[in-house]
Amino acid sequence: MSLVNLVVARPAFSAKVPADLRSPRDEMLKIGASYYEALVTADANNAPFATDCVRRENGMQTTSNPPAKPGSPPIQVMGAMGCEAQLKTHTFDYIKRIEPRRVWIADPETGLVFGLSQFRHPMEEKSIAIVGVPGVDSVPMPFKPFDLPAAHIFKISDGKMHEIEAMGAMMPYNSKTGWE
């Protein structure tokens, strides 16, 4: 099975950012790192998401999809939201720790920031309360504890995240990272 979103790289990732919209490297690194902080604090204000931000995870677009039809599952309803709006629903409250976080590579010309991290999911909740989504009060979380080593690429322009590409794989909870 081929995931269509993994066949061709998103054009934004190879495009140069106009000079007047570029951010300095040190600022880009902070913006990339802010994504992880926004997730663990469940506070979208901790990261500068652009209104057109699109996130893909392992080739699946998880934000900014077409609007869901009435009666669709919660994942489709929330998948139509942008990056910031989706985070504000508290759908990621099950993410308790992201460690280590390594955001060391940034290219101001292309606006790309690269990060490596290990998401730690104790999965103590059996459901997550959802905020601000009509018809969705909670989402079941029938998962055992797990880790998710992940790589992220962020496209930064005008000081905001416009695109997020994430790749990760499930591992046993509290797995060693190899970076110890």
Residue 3, pLDDT > 90, answer no
Rounded Cα distance between 79 and 91, Å, is 11
pLDDT at 2: 55
Mean pLDDT, range 69-75, rounded to an integer: 85
H/E element, 27 = helix 25-41
Q: What is the CA radius of gyration of the chain?
A: 16
pLDDT at 71: 83
Q: What is the pLDDT of residues 8-40, one digit of tens each?
A: 888 999 999 999 999 999 999 999 999 999 999
Mean pLDDT, range 88-103, rounded to an integer: 94
Question: Torsion angle of alpha carbons 58, 60, 64, 66, nearest 10°?
Answer: 180
Q: What is the pLDDT of residues 33-71, one digit of tens each?
A: 999 999 999 999 999 999 999 999 999 999 999 998 888
pLDDT at 162: 98
Cα end-to-end span (Å), the chain: 35
Q: Which two tokens stand for residue 143?
A: 């998962």
Q: What is the mean pLDDT of the chain?
A: 93
Q: Quote the pTM value.
A: 0.93
Q: What is the pLDDT of residues 139-174, one digit of tens each?
A: 999 999 999 999 999 999 999 999 999 999 999 999
CA distances from 13 to 7, 35, 140, 156 (A): 14, 18, 34, 10
For the chain, list the domains and their CATH numbers. Answer: 18-172 (3.10.450.50)
Residue 1, pLDDT > 50, answer no
